[in-house]
Structure 1
Amino acid sequence: MNIQQINKNGVSIAYVTNNETLISDVQSALDLMATVRYELDSNLIIVNKSEVSEAFFDLKTRLAGEVLQKFINYQTKIAIIGDYSGYTSKSLKDFIYESNNGNDIFFVSDEHQAIEKLSSLKA
């Protein structure tokens, strides 16, 4: 796991990359949050969509809800970078839309958008 620190507007953001899946279940999400808090003392995380289990994007598995609830419970905000245009599920599109209009979870297309979203929040 590689953690790059990005500072913008006086806010520390962790951009986490990995060659393997970072978020595959609730425990891996908790491990990610704990590692970032320990390494950078940050509660703002950026990951690539390719490092999130595909099951996350199938809302029937309930993985997205369970994982994102942990992020909210532990007051950690996350931006997931990727292309979401290939998904046809209306419920997933609605979920992404609602998340992007909140203050905790963001599904964005690039690193710049992720940094802008997270750096504008009060951590």
Structure 2
Amino acid sequence: MTTRERIPMPDVHSYDGPPLAEVRDVLDLIGEAWSSGASWVAVPADRLPAAFFTLSTGVAGEIAQKFVNYRIGLSIVGDISRHLETSSALRAWVEECNSGHHIWFVPDTTELPSRLTPR
């Protein structure tokens, strides 16, 4: 794992390391966010394994569940349109996530402050 950089927003850590290849990598990231007091982690979409975007593999559910269990929000940052073009299930899941409070898919980190501000 590499050092995570702090985004200039309170309580959000940005992951800029190698791809999250194993559950252990995800747990390490959650542990670091937890210990630093962060309530959200922003992960570039290209740092997630390709299997994450194929819902039938269970990878997305496993990663998402870890973040929910530890009460750390997950923001997946970047363009995922190529994955959405081929999967109606993924499109539906992204819409569901974006209407919730634990996992968001955003095009870039500029959207995060407005999502984190209570309405």
Instruction: Report the TM range for the smaller structure's normalisation.
Output: 0.7 to 0.9
Closer, same or farther: CA 46–115 of 1 in aligned 2, 3 Å: farther
Moved over 3 A (4+): none
Residue pair 2:13, 2:38 contacting (<8 A) in 1 also: yes
1:54: which partner in 2? 50
TM-score norm. by structure 1 comes to 0.84
How much does 1:104 deviate?
A: 0.3
Task: Indicate the SS of the match to 1:2.
Answer: coil
Task: Give the Cα separation in 1 of the matches to 2:3 and 2:110.
Answer: 19
SS at match of 2:11: strand
SS at match of 1:95: helix
Tell me how many residue pairs correspond in the alignment.
115
- Are positions 1:73 and 2:69 aligned together? yes
Structure 2 residues not aligned, in runs of 5+:
none
For residue 31 of structure 2, the aligned residue among 31, 34, 39 is 34
> How far 1:7 sits from its partner (Å)?
4.6
Higher relative contact order (CA 8 A, sep 6+): 1
Aligned 8 A contact 1:106 1:114 in 2? no
List gaps (5 residues or longer) in structure 1. Answer: none
- Name the TM-score, length of structure 2 as normaliser: 0.87
Q: After superposition, where does 1:16-35 map in structure 2 within 5 Å?
A: 16-18=15-17, 20-21=18-19, 23-35=20-32
Contact 2:34–2:72 under 8 Å retained in 1: no
Q: What's the RMSD between the two structures over aligned residues?
A: 1.6
2:107 to 87, 106, 109: 109
Q: Following the alignment from structure 1 to structure 2, what is the Cα–Cα distance between the partners of residues 51 and 97?
A: 21
Q: Tell me by how many angstroms 1:106 deviates.
A: 0.5
Identity over the aligned pairs, expressed in percent? 29
In 2, Cα distance between the equivalents of 1:25 and 1:99?
Answer: 22
